[in-house]
Amino acid sequence: MWKNSQGTNTTIMTCNTHSLVRMLRITMRVHNETLFSFLMQLWTWRLHSRELDHALAIRMAHPSRWDYDPQPFLKLLGHAFYAAMVVMEPKLSSGQHIDLDSQLTRAEIVHVRCGYHSLRSWWDQIASKAPAYMHCPRCMNPERCSYVWRIRIQWLAQNDKIPFPKVDGIRRLQELHRLLAADSFLIKNMPEPCRHSALQELLKRKEHLLKTVHHHFDL
């Protein structure tokens, strides 16, 4: 889902979870922010592709396991809760109990529920709206250009073209971007630089969510 920006170091890419955590500790200790952010990407990718079990990740990333500034680990923890929420989404959305067969503690389930409600209202109030963008100088009718962009996003949302639940904002934004980038209606009706900058705004929204996902889980 996320490309790694550091090339492909196969030793790191294929390391097991314990080695990954050990490397995270070392990079924290030596303040190597570039490597830390790469390892974090790897962690996130594994969680969202379900290579890394979310319950294990929640235990590993819990700030009580770390001797220093817990702040960066809250992000890792946020992604672990997000992955748990995606798995539990069918039960959460239909109001079923999730405590019985869950690997999570009651306190952890409270975080998952917080995230679920927060992300749902984030989608309804913010992410379902088309992002604003800068028009290029040759855009003759910015109002119409924005209108075209807006109605296309609404059309996709209303016609259920995005096969992920509202709370899975990361995948929804990714899919929305993919559909809009190939959309012939937009290609025909928006000047190319406007279309490009509108699509960039959508990517920025996804990047922002990736960086701030832990806030939704009350972390």
Nearest residue (CB) to Zn ion, 106 versus 138: 138
Q: Are 198 and 131 in contact (CB under 8 A)?
A: yes
Residue with the two structure tokens 């590993």 = 60
Number of residues in contact with Zn ion, rule: CB under 5 A?
5
Say whether residue 79 binds Zn ion (CB under 5 A).
no
Longest CA–CA separation in the chain, Å: 60
Let me know how long the chain is.
219
Q: Could you give the residue ranges of the DSSP H alpha helices within 49-141?
A: 54-61, 71-93, 106-122
Least CB distance to Zn ion at residue 176 (A):
19
User: Which is nearest to 213 in space by CA: 34, 62, 85?
Assistant: 85
The token pair that represents 182 in the structure block: 């190939």
Nearer to Zn ion, 63 or 142 (CB): 142
* 48 lies in the binding site for Zn ion (CB under 5 A): no
| Smallest separation, CB 97 to Zn ion (Å) | 50
Which tokens sit at 179? 């559909």
Name the one range near Zn ion by CB under 5 A: 7-15, 57-65, 128-136, 206-214: 128-136
For Zn ion, the binding residue among 35, 87, 139, 179 (CB under 5 A) is: 139
Binding status of residue 135 toward Zn ion by CB under 5 A: yes
Query: 3-state class of 50 per DSSP?
Result: coil
The one segment of 111-119, 166-174, 190-198, 202-210 that binds Zn ion by CB under 5 A: 190-198
Residues that bind Zn ion (CB under 5 A): 135, 139, 142, 145, 194
